[in-house]
Amino acid sequence: QVQLQESGPGLVKPSETLSLTCTVSGGSITRYSWNWIRQPPGQGLEWIGYAYYSGSTNYNPSFKSRVSMSIDTSKNQFSLKLTSVTAADTAVYYCARDSSDWLHLFDYWGQGTLVTVSS
Amino acid sequence: QSALTQPRSVSGSPGQSVTISCTGTSSDVGGYNYVSWYQQHPGKVPKLMIYDVSKRPSGVPGRFSGSKSGNTASLTISGLQAEDEADYYCCSYAGTYTSVFGGGTKLTVL
């Protein structure tokens, strides 16, 4: 059974960089795309972007200038960095696997990690 | 990239059917048969209920069905049960290797 687990600081100061890692167990990361999705408190889901095992990435245009993702197949991990954060970036951040080639079949999710942006 | 449009809330009585709509554009919902639906109970992780517009993953009850017409996708839950009360989100491939979610719909079972 594939499992995903997010890790990283739960508190980030405004203007700093949010960094999260997702560790995948029970399956290889060398297939499918690996995504980050966030959910601000009381709000809906927002797709941030994906990293593919080959190293290719793509992002939601809304984040494009601030976001970067990477993947480490040797560790079965992928990561998210979001720069210049503000209070609006406070959210539960999920990592999720997309089992299609079409970025809509998110069949495995991490438990989510709340990141609060505050000084 | 704008969020797909969903009604904020819908409701139904046990045993009834409810339908949740998800409206996008020809660049997302209308352009591809890659629409999915997620169920999220409070404080829980979203769960995939429908993918490729109308396919159900293993383990999802047959009461859940999906369809699409033009730029609008729909999730229908028949034989409503108390445990179906949750938030529902649609998601669509949006071209150029991007994805977009709907704003979410709160389903209340009366």
The predicted-structure confidence for B11-53, as pLDDT tens digits, reads as follows 999 999 999 999 999 999 999 999 999 999 999 999 999 999 9
Contact B61, B49 (CB under 8 A): no
Nearest 5 degrees, angle CA A37-CA A49-CA A93?
A: 25
B61 — pLDDT class (breaks 50, 70, 90): very high
B1 — pLDDT class (breaks 50, 70, 90): confident
Residue A64 has pLDDT above 80, yes or no: no
CB count, 10 Å around CB of A21?
A: 17
Instruction: Output the pLDDT for position B51.
Output: 97
CA distance linking residue B32 with residue A107, whole number of Å: 19
Instruction: Output the pLDDT for position B86.
Output: 98
Contact B48 A106 (CB under 8 A): yes
Bridge partners (DSSP) listed for residue A34:
A51, A97
A67-72/B9-12 β-pairing: unpaired
Instruction: Output the pLDDT for position B6.
Output: 98
Mean pLDDT over residues A40-46, rounded?
A: 96
Phi, psi of B105 (to 5 degrees): -130, 130
Contact B28, B4 (CB under 8 A): yes
pLDDT digits (tens, 9 = 90+) for A9-39: 999 999 999 999 999 999 989 989 999 999 9
pLDDT digits (tens, 9 = 90+) for B73-101: 999 999 999 999 999 999 999 999 999 99
Give me the residues of B, 24-83, that contact A with CB < 8 A: 32, 34-36, 38, 45-46, 48, 51-52, 57
Contact A104 B103 (CB under 8 A): no
Instruction: Output the pLDDT for position A103.
Output: 84
Residue A84 has pLDDT above 90, yes or no: yes
**Inter-CA distances, A18 with A14, A81, B82, Å:** 10, 6, 39
CB count, 10 Å around CB of A14?
A: 12
> Chain-centre distance of CA A119, in angstroms?
23
Q: Retrieve residue A32's tokens.
A: 């499918």
Torsion angle of the four alpha carbons A99, A81, A46, B57, in this order, in degrees rounded to the nearest 10: 20
Residues of A with CB under 8 A from a CB of B: 35, 37, 43-47, 50, 58-62, 94, 98, 100, 102-107, 109-112
Chain A residues whose CB is inside 8 A of the B100 CB are 47
Instruction: Output the pLDDT for position A53.
Output: 86
Collapsing DSSP to helix, strand or coil, B29 comes out as: helix
Instruction: Output the pLDDT for position A102.
Output: 83
Q: Retrieve residue A26's tokens.
A: 């029970």
